[in-house]
Amino acid sequence: MRKLRFNFFPIKTMLLVMSLLGTIILSLSQPIVAQTEGDRENITIHNYYTSPPFEEIYYYAIETEEGLILIDTGRLLSQARYALEELQQFDKPILAILITHPHTDHFGGLPLFIEAAGGDVPIYASQITYDSIESDERGYIENRARQLGLDFPDPEDIPLPNSIVEDGQKLTIGGVDIIAYDFPTNESDTTTTYYLPEQQVMFIGDLVNGEKTPGLFEGNTNNWIDTLREIQESFPDLERVYPGHTSPDNPDELIEAQIDYIETFRNLVSEALENDQVVDDEEKHDIADEIERLYPDYETSFLLPGLIDINIDGVAEELRSENNQQTFITN
């Protein structure tokens, strides 16, 4: 009898562990939440997002009478599979995929969406996005492939955009007018926004991030602020923007909050650079503390735990080069 009880114990423990694991896996495996924005003129916009704790990425489907226009594809293959399951309910073909910018969290799911679309579907992106994905000069694709293994496509399987959009080009897809505006060098090498003039909405990539720590590490924050001001001035009647990492909302508050964060960050790094042009470890620590104090609710993706640190490095390099240019001009 004793022996039997001994045998039961590990089975019970195993069952307990399995049910715990199951709960964890279940809680992680509901990452796609489909929300419908309601009808805007002749379309419906659906949001799909991958939820925390892993990372929060929003991507979108514009549903027209004729089919679906997808904006970005998320990063992970597992998430793309969930998104495709959600899209199946509409029982409509994928008409086109529009890519906002060359960061892997916006195009990693491409191979699965292309396959679901039957292989032959236009992938729109700007020339800069095309070049950046093709060259992978910053090593983003290579690094993610190594880090994420089977949940990220083999770099060779990632299709390149096959329809290059020019700045200001009007596309009509599924009966809907979409104008592509390309804003180079800000959050990434470029952000192509997709503007729907009839509905007064814009898919804005990662130019605004709500209460998410933005990626400033490419060191183009000055131009990023200019881009946001330009959007404010050029699209005064814009009703709603659809960002890559936070809920769609009215543009005014999102844009002002993003500019405030970037300016504050630049000022803190600029102060640390005074005298020696270096941000040492202690200063880095102080900047991170101050940012935490000023923006206590801002979240950072699990995949980018050292984001604030690399943001400081990127902005420091940008400010040093701005200072050098000024010295050059005054000389």
Q: Which residues bind Zn ion (CB under 5 A)?
A: 105, 206, 244
The smaller minimum CB distance to Zn ion, of residues 107 and 174, is found at 107
Report the nearest approach of Zn ion to the CB of residue 65 (Å): 30
Whose Cβ is closer to Zn ion: residue 63's or residue 206's?
Answer: 206
Nearer to Zn ion by Cβ, of 206 and 218: the residue is 206
Which of 98-134 are b and which e, b meaning 16 or more Cβ less than 10 Å from the residue's Cβ? bbbbbbbbbbbbbbbbbebbeeebbbbbbebbbebbe
For Zn ion, the closer of residues 72 and 283 by Cβ is 72
CB atoms closer than 10 angstroms to residue 47: 18
The alpha carbon of 96 is separated from its chain's Cα centroid by a whole number of angstroms, namely 19
Q: Looking at 56-141, which runs of residues are DSSP E strands?
A: 57-63, 68-71, 94-98, 123-126
C-beta of 91: minimal distance to Zn ion in Å? Answer: 29
What's the CA gap between 189 and 276, in Å, rounded? 29
Mapped to the 3 state alphabet, what secondary structure does 292-316 carry?
A: HHHCCCCECCCCCCCHHHHHHHHHH
Q: Smallest distance from the beta carbon of 249 to Zn ion, in angstroms?
A: 17
CB of 206 to Zn ion, least distance (A): 4
DSSP 8-state assignment for residue 249: B
Minimum distance from CB of 217 to Zn ion (Å)?
12
Q: How far is the CB of 73 from Zn ion (least distance, A)?
A: 11
Residue closer to Zn ion (CB basis): 205 or 251: 205
- State residue 86 phi and psi, 5-degree precision: -65, -40
Contact 109, 78 (CB under 8 A): no
DSSP 161: P
One-letter amino acid at 37 equals E
Contact 77, 220 (CB under 8 A): no
Tell the smallest beta-carbon distance from residue 257 to Zn ion (Å).
Answer: 17
Q: Judged by CB, which is closer to Zn ion: 174, or 215? A: 215
> What is the C-alpha to C-alpha distance for residues 100 and 322, in angstroms, rounded to an integer?
27
Between 143 and 277, CB nearer to Zn ion = 143
Residue closer to Zn ion by CB (options 37, 206) is: 206
- Minimum distance, C-beta of residue 248 to Zn ion, in the bound complex (Å): 15
